[in-house]
Chains A and B, each alone.
Chain A
Amino acid sequence: DAMVIQNPRYQVTQFGKPVTLSCSQTLNHNVMYWYQQKSSQAPKLLFHYYDKDFNNEADTPDNFQSRRPNTSFCFLDIRSPGLGDAAMYLCATSSGTVSNQPQHFGDGTRLSIL
């Protein structure tokens, strides 16, 4: 089945130690999104790629970076994680940027900071 896969499902890192989360998709979608979701809150968009064009949300901290080496893969890099970055990180894809294209989500990576 075509899907969005996030690895790992659970990630533990130390305060200030860089961490990378990965997302892959077999849907061949143009757009890939990264969301941050804290406990009992709505997902918050961090940034998205339309093909190789990167779009950062205005309030996304500089600590968060992303790479998309090809259509199938997208990475979220947190350069110096703080305790406030502990959250579920969700990757999603869609076939277009017009908002009527549904987004397809992975199961997320839960990040813990020690």
Chain B
Amino acid sequence: AQSVTQPDIHITVSEGASLELRCNYSYGATPYLFWYVQSPGQGLQLLLKYFSGDTLVQGIKGFEAEFKRSQSSFNLRKPSVHWSDAAEYFCAVGVFFGNEKLTFGTGTRLTIIP
């Protein structure tokens, strides 16, 4: 079965600094990979997704993620964070066929300091 690990429970970054959130997955083939963001008290919003092709994926709000097969990773990056980026970030994996569900990581809480 597939699994997702987000090693960092909580990250604090200064406003304007760069950001990288880590995500590692476990699956026998190339999975579908997603990053979602959840603001306090709200549902999840899709930031970006990877299915195939270019391993550098651009998303909304200035985020990007890079799929690295050799490292089984799909890390999320942003060159300069804004106070409004403070939220919980979830990485998720879906299998290619047969299993209709996503498996979410446990999330990384991002705090932005002035």
Contacts and interface: CB of A to CB of B under 8 A. Distances in A.
Pick from A40, A42, A103, A108 the residue with the most CB of B within 10 Å: A42
Given A99-B95, A99-B96, A42 B90 contact: yes
Contacts of B34: 102
Contacts, number: 60
A68 interface: no
Contact of B102 (A4, A55, A103, A104): A103
Interface residues of B, number: 25
Contacts of A103: 44, 46, 102
A41 B49 CA distance: 21
Interface in B35-58: 36, 41-46, 49, 51
Interface stretch (B13-21, B68-76, B78-86, B103-111): B103-111
Contact of B107 (A31, A42, A97, A106): A42
A102 B49 contact: yes
Contact of B46 (A43, A45, A90, A102): A102
A103 B100 CA distance: 11
Nearest to A43: B104
